[in-house]
């Protein structure tokens, strides 16, 4: 296992800045995901770690060994970085059998035939593909090809595993299944992994930490829970689903023992309490983020001790989604979305309650 450290890493293509000043540390055995929309710089960042792109600024270290330093003109090529990589297209060679595909990295390294066979079969067994060793690669399904690609990346026991959207070519059901299987394998082996995806749910499900990127820059790094419930900016908040963003003004601010702050705020026809990651001065305008699943209707559990917010409004839209119902409520001219249990009765005018722990303040 190896750690990975990026220090002020940048990549320019002429006047275009693809990646700008990325700082990131991936600890040994950690699963970290680079997440963001197309063109945000996540794949370029991964390719610089792999040695498939050369950074034009900053320094990259793998296992405490510097592999690329733009200032010193140091660049260790990909084949000398002791890492495995799984691509979006799997890059399975159609003219080879499953065994030969997995064996190729070992053959290039000129290992003995007996050792190659032993290690290939062990790698295929890890991904439950040992019985397919002699099958032609084109005869495999998409999920099976992905397993072969992972086995090939693991067979030479790399210090680091890099994955560039490896699940994007699978259907939704298989994507969930293979993601769970790969995460279980990664945990069992304890291999350091850096993963790229644009799929928010995939990143949340698989990762120890998520790196949200936009326009070549890192917006926030944190656990999936931190990124989702405690975003640092509107851009990060709105990248995950469709949160309610309520205009508000600060009436009071006090520090809590957990490193957060408790705010008393008011908006158009309402007032209440919320949490924040920084202190806000009285009179400051801000946004209060509330995710639809954290909005409750009267009849459900109300905010503890009366804290939080209580809003009233008229239901303008409701749609049934099996166990849940999506409801849109007009509150003083602003639309509030709620995701509530389908069995909760609806009336034309409803009361919404929000626990202050699920209401999060953002700079406007």
Query: For residue range 167-208, what is the model confidence (pLDDT) as tens digits?
Result: 887 778 878 887 888 888 888 888 999 999 999 999 999 999
In 10 A of CB 100, how many CB atoms?
16
Instruction: Check if CATH label 3.40.50.2020 holds for domain 242-363.
Output: no
Element (H, E) at 99: helix 98-108
Q: How far apart are CA 201 and CA 224, in angstroms?
A: 10
pLDDT at 135 over 70: yes
As a whole number, mean pLDDT of residues 309-331 equals: 93
Residue 269's closest CA among 334, 207, 216, 217?
334
Strand ranges in 165-281 using DSSP code E only, listed in sequence order: 192-197, 209-214, 217-222, 244-255, 261-267, 270-276
As a whole number, mean pLDDT of residues 83-103 equals: 87
With cut-offs at 50, 70 and 90, classify the pLDDT of residue 44.
Answer: very high
pTM, 2 dp: 0.86
CATH fold for domain 4-236 = Rossmann fold (3.40.50)
Q: Provide the pairing of β-strand 192-197 with 31-35.
A: parallel
**Residue 305 pLDDT:** 46
Largest interatomic CA distance in the chain = 77
**Residue 84 pLDDT:** 87
pLDDT at 299 over 70: no
Residue 305 three-state SS: helix
Residues of the chain with CATH 3.40.50.300: 4-236
Lookup: tokens for 203: 């990143």
Per-residue DSSP letter, 292: G
Q: How far apart are CA 356 and CA 207, in angstroms?
A: 27
Q: How far apart are CA 205 and CA 75, in angstroms?
A: 34
With cut-offs at 50, 70 and 90, classify the pLDDT of residue 307.
Answer: low
Residues of the chain with CATH 2.40.50.100: 242-363
Give the relative orientation of helices 98-108 and 142-154 as an angle to the nearest 10 degrees: 20
CA dihedral 319→233→201→196, nearest 10 degrees, is 150
Report the chain's mean pLDDT, rounded to a whole number. Answer: 91
3-state SS track over 61-98: EECCEEEEECCCCEECCHHHCCEEEECCCCCCCCCCEH
With cut-offs at 50, 70 and 90, classify the pLDDT of residue 151.
Answer: confident
């Amino acid at each position: 296992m190896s750690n990975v450290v990026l220090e002020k890493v940048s990549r320019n293509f002429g006047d275009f800045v693809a990646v700008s000043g990325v700082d990131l540390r991936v600890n040994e055995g950690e699963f970290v995901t680079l997440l963001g929309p197309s063109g945000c710089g996540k794949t370029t960042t991964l390719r610089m770690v792999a040695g498939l792109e050369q950074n034009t600024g900053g320094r990259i270290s793998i296992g405490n060994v510097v592999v690329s330093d733009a200032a010193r003109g140091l660049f260790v090529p990909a084949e000398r970085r002791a890492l495995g990589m799984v691509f979006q297209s799997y890059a399975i060679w159609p003219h080879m059998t499953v065994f030969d595909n997995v064996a190729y990295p070992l053959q290039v390294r000129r290992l003995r035939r007996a050792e190659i066979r032993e290690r290939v079969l062990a790698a295929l067994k890890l991904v439950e593909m040992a019985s397919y060793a002699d099958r032609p690669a084109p005869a495999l399904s998409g999920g099976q090809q992905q397993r072969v690609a992972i086995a090939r990346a693991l067979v030479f026991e790399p210090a680091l595993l890099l994955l560039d959207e490896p699940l994007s070519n699978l259907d939704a059901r298989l994507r969930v299944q293979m993601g769970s299987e790969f995460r279980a394998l990664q945990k069992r082996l304890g291999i350091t992994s850096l993963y790229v995806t644009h799929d928010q749910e995939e990143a949340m499900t698989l990762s120890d930490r998520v790196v949200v990127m936009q326009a070549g820059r890192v917006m926030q790094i944190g656990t999936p829970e931190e990124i989702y419930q405690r975003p640092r900016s509107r851009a990060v908040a709105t990248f995950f689903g469709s949160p309610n963003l309520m205009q508000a003004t600060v009436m009071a601010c006090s520090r809590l023992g957990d490193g957060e702050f408790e705010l008393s705020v008011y908006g158009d026809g309402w007032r209440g309490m919320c949490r924040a990651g920084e202190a806000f001065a009285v009179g400051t305008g801000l946004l209060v983020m509330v995710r639809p699943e954290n909005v409750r209707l009267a009849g459900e559990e109300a905010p503890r001790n009366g804290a939080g917010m209580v809003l009233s409004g008229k239901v303008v839209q409701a749609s049934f989604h099996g166990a849940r119902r999506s409801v849109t409520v007009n509150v003083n001219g602003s639309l509030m979305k709620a995701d509530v249990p389908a069995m909760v009765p609806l009336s034309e005018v409803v009361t919404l309650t929000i626990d202050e722990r699920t209401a999060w303040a953002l700079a406007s």
